[in-house]
Structure formats: C-alpha cells, structure tokens
Homo-oligomer: A and B are copies of this chain.
Amino acid sequence: MPHNIARGVFLFDTPPKIEGFAAIVGEKEGQGPLGDFFDEVVTDSHFGQKTWEQAESKFQLEAVSLAVRKANLTKEDIDIICAGDLINQCTGSSYGLRQLEIPFFGLYGACSTMAESLIAASLFVDSGAAERAAAVTSSHFSTAERQFRAPLSYGGQRTPTAQWTCTASGAVTITAEKGDISVYGCCVGKIADMDITDISNMGAAMAPAAMGVLCRYFEATNSSPTDFDHIVTGDLGILGSKLLVELMEKQGYDISAVHMDCGEMMFNPEEQDSHCGGSGCGCAASVLCGYFLPRLQRGELKKILFTATGALMSAMSVQQGESIPTIAHLVELRSK
C-alpha cells in the first residue's frame, strides 16, 4: 500500500517492481552516444507504415510487446496499460495499443508521460487493483514537428535553444512480485508557468517544474541530492539543465554532481545538429528503459530519481499568445 507523506507525495510500503522493460529508437537516436544501449534501432522513419503517425503507434506497440516478452510474459498477463503521447488526442497510444486488447488507461502529461504512467501503473499494482500493469509512451520527430511547429518540407531554420523531438519509445511492466528494480516513491507534479511563450525554448519553460517537484520530494522525504546516484530529468536539454542546476542552488540544493538529463544525453550536439538536445515523450522513456533501468538491474546504480518533464501547450494555445504551462512528475527507483 502507498502512504501519503505530503501533498501529492507517497511512498510504497512494499514497493512494486519493474519486471520487464524495453527501448526502441529511430536512426538518429541510434547514432547518438547511447545508441548501443537501446534494444532496437529502427532506421526507417516510417517503420514500414504509410504515415508517421502509424509509425509512432508501431514504436509503442513494439516497445510494449518487447518489454512483455523480456519479462517472459504474454499480453494476457497485463491487466492494465497506462499510456499517452504527444499527438493530438494521443492517437499514438490508442491506435498503437488497440490490438492488444488490454484494459487501457489513457494519460496526458506531454513529455512527463513516462513518469506519470509509471506512477499510475505502480499505483494500480501496489493497491491491488491490478496484478500486473504496463507503462509506455512514445514520440516521433516527424509527427511532432508538423503538429507543433511547421511542415517538415517547409525546411524552417531552428533556433539555438530548440530541441530535437526524439523518435523513440520506452515501456515497462510492473508487478508486485519479482523484479530487481523497485518503485520506491512518487511525487505528482504541480503545473508551473513562468510566462515563457517561446516554443523553441522548452528547457527554460520546464526547468521550474522540475525544480518544484524535486524540492517537494526532498522536503517530504527528508532527503538531499547526495542521497541519490543520479537525479535524472526528462528532456530539459542543455540550456534547461543549466537553468535547473541554478534554480536548485537558489533553493539550497546542489545537484550539479548527480544531475543527468535524458535530452542532453541522447545526442552529440556537435555532430548531430541537435542544438539543445533531445525532447519528446519517447526521449526520457527510451533513456530510462535503455540506459538507467539496466544499470539499476545490475546493481551499478542503487537509487535514482526519475523526473520526466512536460510542456503542456498546444499549437493553438501558442498561436493564441498563451504562455507555456509545464509539469514534472517524479518516481524514485531503487535497485533491489
């Protein structure tokens, strides 16, 4: 059972376990510094499908299916699947996962979705509402660019603060029983809005949300940055990560030695024209499932905070001149 230790913060008495996990990425992500860590690199941006939207759906379906197989399960073993993505009305998830016939719990947390779906899946399992649950999310460079920014064929120049939406998906299965990685605690994020309106500067918009959720968790659990091997943020990118370290310092927390950002880790900015780094729901999801979970499983890492960050605007809200509300959700993961 979870117990509530502060507003929106809860720890599990008998932490649920991550049993299976998988990460599938696109070609550019496969060519980055983490390329060797992913389960599969798909070089065809259409993944054999007619549209990029269908391709993104297939990324999600394949990631879940692989996570299930790696845990020696079948899809019938999963009671509930928690999923969401960036495409309007989350069709990446609903179209991708419909054929699985698993009870489906749709989420929207923008790029924070991997942390949010981990929270939901852990809660279903730990409370006893489900025996096993899965969490998955995805993003695709081409579906996101044309939806949020401009048609790809327009060939617009990207600003230095821009990030590159990753073509990627990550999935996990959660159970109460076996597994070497436990979900120890969770913090549900509050919406932060610092009046930033530049959709090519998402890192700056999202850093305050990450700061908020980290401070709330440290305070509630009476912990500090050095208690963790890594504090992993979702996709703040290079600029947003710098900002987060500064913001945390002002709050009295020095995270500089332990902080890592999935967006910053995904690409080599000098060789890959990735500007401030990777972004998209699939960025944090694939780096978590490809890089961090295996290290936790092998015991190389003992404790990490996984804090995926999301920007909650739409193309229309930006056109209407609205600022960008952001959110970050947090899960503490521990090695057995």
Flag if B315 contacts A88 (CB, 8 Å): yes
Contacts of A89 in B (CB 8 A): 86, 88, 108, 110, 312-314, 317
Question: With the chains together, A119 CA to B120 CA distance in Å?
Answer: 11
Interface pair A4/B128, CB less than 8 Å apart: yes
**Any B CB within 8 A of the CB of A21:** no
Binds B, one of A40-48, A188-196, A200-208: A188-196
Q: Is the interface of A mostly helix, strand, loop or mixed?
A: mixed
Q: Is A109 an interface residue (CB 8 A)?
A: yes
Alpha-carbon gap, A94 to B317, bound state (A): 11
A320: B residues at CB distance < 8 A: 51, 53
Once bound together, how far apart are the Cα atoms of A272 and B252, in whole Å? 60
Interface membership of A79, Cβ < 8 A:
yes
- Binary contact readout A1-31 vs B (1 if CB under 8 angstroms, 0 otherwise): 1111001101000000000000000000000
**Chain A, 270-320, CB within 8 A of any chain B CB:** 312-317, 320
Chain A contact-residue range equals 35 or more
Which of A7, A80, A119, A129 neighbours the largest number of chain B CB atoms within 10 Å of its CB? A129
Question: A226 near B: Cβ within 8 Å?
Answer: no
> Is there contact, CB below 8 Å, between A327 and B88?
no
Q: Are B190 and A101 in contact (CB under 8 A)?
A: yes
Contact of A105 among B79, B147, B188 (CB under 8 A): B188
Cβ of A98 under 8 Å from chain B: yes
Q: Closest approach, in angstroms, between the C-beta of A195 and any C-beta of chain B?
A: 11
When distances are taken between beta carbons in the complex, the residues of chain B under 8 Å from A110 are 89
* Chain B residue contacts of A109, Cβ below 8 A: 106
- A255 on the interface (CB 8 Å rule)? no
* Residues A107 and B104 in contact in the complex (CB < 8 Å), given A124-B123, A188-B80, A315-B88: no
Contacts of A95 in B (CB 8 A): 312, 317, 322, 325
A-B contact pairs, 16 of them (CB 8 A): A4-B128, A51-B320, A53-B320, A80-B188, A88-B88, A89-B110, A91-B322, A94-B191, A95-B312, A95-B317, A101-B190, A101-B191, A104-B191, A104-B327, A105-B188, A120-B120
**Can you add 15 more A-B contacts, CB < 8 Å, to A10-B130, A89-B110, A104-B189?**
A4-B79, A8-B80, A8-B130, A88-B314, A89-B312, A91-B313, A94-B312, A94-B325, A94-B327, A103-B189, A104-B188, A105-B188, A123-B127, A126-B127, A127-B129
